[in-house]
Structure 1
Amino acid sequence: MAGHSKFKNIMHRKGAQDKKRSNLFSKLSREITVAAKMGAPDPDMNPRLRLAINNAKAQSMPKDNIQRAIDKASGGDEDNYEEVRYEGYGPGGSAIIVEALTDNRNRTATNVRTCFAKNGGNLGTEGSVQHGFERLGLIEYPASAGDEEKVLEAAMEAGALDIESGEDGHTIWTAAEDLHQVAGDLEKALGEAENVKLAWKPNITVQLDEGHAGTLMKLIDALDDDDDVQTVWGNYEIPDEVMEKLGA
């Protein structure tokens, strides 16, 4: 189950970008509101809402903001957001999955298509790249949560599928349907996670050189800047030395 995480350089860069985005809390609030609308407003009875709240807390979102997002759903908010997924190709033969919450499909599709077109990519059709990914649960812990042996033991006890440990921390994978249960068991053993969400894990990764990696980073930044885009997943791997050259 153990091994160095190939995705750490990408995920940690994504985390750093998230902290800089002025619209981060807005996106987190939208996910909380949608989750509360789709189920009970009580996180103990609504796994998706619990995950959304945990992720908001991990990003230091104030409790008042979280509660307002929940109350917005309970108060009959007029905004009706729907989940949409876009698939496409990025620089260097990379495959990209974009998840969004939108109240206007046409606007979001146009914006996402423009991001791809202006940054070395092409928006594909539904299902064009999904076959190269697996839908799994993702749980991330910092290195301070414990050494590899401790986290591995806790993950196995909780029923996780795989764990990847490195100097930056621990990445734990679960079956999608087991994410809430495994996250809850791990929280009892290791404390609160840095990140808990459903993810698209690539079956095979492609390594990008400096040129393609630089263009890809611009594509991801452009997608991140769109208010409707919630998450961006890819099958790319960027060597640490390339990331350093790019200043990422």
Structure 2
Amino acid sequence: MAGHSKFKNIMHRKGAQDKKRSAMFSKLSREITVAAKMGMPDPDMNPRLRLAVNAAKAQSMPKDNIQRAIDKASKNDGENYEEVRYEGYGPAGIAIIVEALTDNRNRTATNVRTAFSKNGGNLGASGAVSHGFDRMGLIEYPASVGDEEKVLEAAIEAGAEDVESSEDGHSIWTAMDALHEVAKALEASLGPAEAAKLAWKPQTSVEVDEGTAATLMKLIDTLEDDDDVQTVWGNYDISDAVMEKLG
């Protein structure tokens, strides 16, 4: 389990699906609202909003919820979210990047710092670990969309830079500024993606043992359970055998 493909694995492992689903919808709604505020409220005219709406649809978020989140962008509801990035180290020095949308920087910073300190890590300064990652576009498809050859052919045709396929699904990497165009081309050939977003791809990955993995997963769970945290990225690689033991 690599650092960029952990989310649904953690979701499956933890259970409590209804609670997780509600939290996911809340985070998707926040991203939609922020995207709509930053540009046009029309997904066809706003690439970031289009990606956010597509991500919400891929998670079966109701259309009414999506429209409500867009409508909030034009209303003076007192919510003014800003994007914040935190960088730090998990157990065994694993590099971690946390992206958040928050209306209270002090609250979010305190929560993130506490999560690191209580789970074998420490929060670093801005830029502490991001130099070891590449900022790229990431488009994810389920394994059911087709075999590796089919997805690779579609990705090359769409202008993607790299494809990683496994039994869990397909991760298609693009240049950051080409994400919208590649996602649109892939949608035409493969259908709607499960996710299309900007991502942090580690330049090198660190394989972790069972003990480290258990503490690391606890850290990531704690971070992702925070309402303000949108995504968590890391340069770790956890083998299937270790994941089996973790249950």
TM-score w.r.t. length of structure 2: 0.94
TM-superposed deviation, 1:9: 6.0
Distance 1:164 1:109 in 2: 33
Q: Please tell me the residue identity of whatever aligns with 2:237.
A: E
1:182-223, Cα deviation, whole Å (9 max, x unpaired) = 000000000111111110000011111011100011101110
Q: What residue in structure 2 maps to residue 13 of structure 1?
A: 9
Q: What residue in structure 1 maps to residue 234 of structure 2?
A: 234
Q: What residue in structure 2 maps to residue 52 of structure 1?
A: 52
Instruction: Return closer, same or farther for 1:38/1:207 CA change in 2, 3 Å cut-off.
Output: same
Distance 1:216 1:184 in 2: 35
Cα RMSD (Å): 1.6
Distance 2:132 2:9 in 1: 23
Instruction: Return closer, same or farther for 1:102/1:8 CA change in 2, 3 Å cut-off.
Output: closer
Q: What residue in structure 1 maps to residue 90 of structure 2?
A: 90
Distance 1:225 1:41 in 2: 28
Q: What residue in structure 1 maps to residue 139 of structure 2?
A: 139
TM-superposed deviation, 1:168: 2.1
Q: How many residues align?
A: 243
Displaced runs of 4+ in structure 1, greater than 4 A?
A: 5-9, 17-20
TM-superposed deviation, 1:57: 1.0
Q: What residue in structure 2 maps to residue 207 of structure 1?
A: 207
3-state SS of paired residue (1:74) = coil
Gapped runs of 5+ residues in structure 2?
none
Q: What residue in structure 1 maps to residue 166 of structure 2?
A: 166
Gapped runs of 5+ residues in structure 1?
none
3-state SS of paired residue (1:127) = coil
TM-superposed deviation, 1:7: 5.2
Q: What residue in structure 2 maps to residue 198 of structure 1?
A: 198
Contact 1:9 1:240 in 2 (8 A): no
Q: Please tell me the residue identity of whatever aligns with 1:130.
A: S
Instruction: Return closer, same or farther for 1:215/1:168 CA change in 2, 3 Å cut-off.
Output: same
Instruction: Return closer, same or farther for 1:7/1:94 CA change in 2, 3 Å cut-off.
Output: closer
1:68-106, Cα deviation, whole Å (9 max, x unpaired) = 000011223321110000000001220000000011111
TM-superposed deviation, 1:8: 7.3
Q: Please tell me the residue identity of whatever aligns with 1:128.
A: A
Q: What residue in structure 1 maps to residue 189 of structure 2?
A: 189
Counterparts of residues 33-182 of structure 1 (less than 5 Å): 33-182=33-182
1:204-246, Cα deviation, whole Å (9 max, x unpaired) = 1111101110001110111011110000000000011110111
1:106-134, Cα deviation, whole Å (9 max, x unpaired) = 11101100000000000000000000000
Instruction: Return closer, same or farther for 1:7/1:23 CA change in 2, 3 Å cut-off.
Output: closer
Identity of aligned residues (%): 74
TM-score w.r.t. length of structure 1: 0.94
TM-superposed deviation, 1:24: 1.5
Distance 1:6 1:210 in 2: 14
Q: Please tell me the residue identity of whatever aligns with 2:43.
A: P
Q: Please tell me the residue identity of whatever aligns with 1:192.
A: P
Q: Please tell me the residue identity of whatever aligns with 1:109.
A: A
Distance 1:10 1:29 in 2: 21
Instruction: Return closer, same or farther for 1:14/1:40 CA change in 2, 3 Å cut-off.
Output: farther
